[in-house]
Amino acid sequence: MNYFKNYFFFISGIIQGKSLCRIFQNLEIQNVILSGNIIEFGAEPNSAKNFSKLAKKKKIKKLDFSDKHLNHRDIIKADLNKNINIKKNFYDTVLFFNVMEHLVEINNAKNQIYKILKKKGKLIGSTPFLYRYHGAPSDYYRFTSSFYKIFFRKKFKSVKVKNLGFGPCCLCYSILSDFTKKIPLLNIFLFSVSLIIDCFLSIFVKYKLNDIFPIAVYFEAKK
């Protein structure tokens, strides 16, 4: 792993007050090309937090947003714990970031997403792993990359997963940054030192540190 390849991208995110988890996820979505019909769950129109804003776009036909808690005329209100009333075989891509840990009926959610995807459509998302409790309104689960490989392969044709993180020190920084996020210079210092130590530690092990100390897990699954 090249620990310093995207160093300034992380520094920029830290200055903006973003968590390390969110910065990793933002980095991944920037490599995604969206086209056709798209729906983003856990999002609302015109929000700066939307992952669809960060992805590359090519011939977008329709971009929908869905959240079960928000009442807005431009939002599809759908509870993935239950059967959803959304057109079948319609979407080319479903964006599913930081949603699944807040759902109880995860198997039902998987089936509902599969139902609305076109053939060869993609599910793209991520969930935090070694990360603080965050209710929206409740936080139920943490999922490993091993879990996602098995979970999605029972339904989807192909599955790719990736552990997001650097190592144990950056993981500790990720937890501490909740308390220091209003002090950007301190955060930059703590992150930089943590990154250097993780880079040094990686010399002494044969495995990837982010596979043992992931902050989040990213996944892609094709119908």
Segment 149-183, tens digit of pLDDT: 999 998 999 999 999 999 999 999 999 999 998 99
Which percentage of the chain shows pLDDT scores above 70? 100
Out of 4-8, 45-49, 89-93, 214-218, pick the least confident. Answer: 45-49
In a domain, 181, yes or no: no
Residue 119 in this model has a pLDDT that exceeds 90: yes
The mean pLDDT value of the chain amounts to 95
pLDDT value of residue 222? 97
- Judge whether 172 lies within some domain: no
**Residue 24 belongs to domain spanning:** 20-166+211-222
Report the pLDDT averaged over residues 101-122.
97
Split into its structural domains, the chain has a count of: 1
Is the pLDDT at 73 greater than 80, yes or no?
no
Q: Is 86 within a domain?
A: yes
- Let me know if residue 57 belongs to a domain: yes
Is the predicted pLDDT of residue 129 greater than 80, yes or no? yes
- 23 has which bridge partners? none
Task: Using a pLDDT cut of 90, give the percent of the chain over it.
Answer: 88
Tell me: pLDDT of 137 over 90.
Answer: no
Q: Structure pTM?
A: 0.94
Encode pLDDT of 181-209 as tens digits. 899 999 999 999 999 999 999 999 999 99
**Cα 100–64–119 angle (5° rounding)?**
75
Q: What per-residue confidence (pLDDT) applies to 8?
A: 96
For residue 79, the domain's CATH number is 3.40.50.150
Q: What is d(CA 94, CA 123) in angstroms, rounded to the nearest whole number?
A: 5
Q: How far is Cα 135 from Cα 124, in angstroms, rounded to an integer?
A: 22
Question: Alpha-carbon distance 51 to 29, whole Å?
Answer: 7
Identify whether 85 is part of a domain. Answer: yes
Does residue 145 form part of some domain?
Answer: yes
Banded model confidence at residue 113, pLDDT cuts 50, 70, 90: very high
In a domain, 79, yes or no: yes
* In a domain? residue 134: yes
| pLDDT reported for residue 194 | 97
Work out the pLDDT band at 70, boundaries 50, 70, 90. confident
Amino acid identity at 44: E
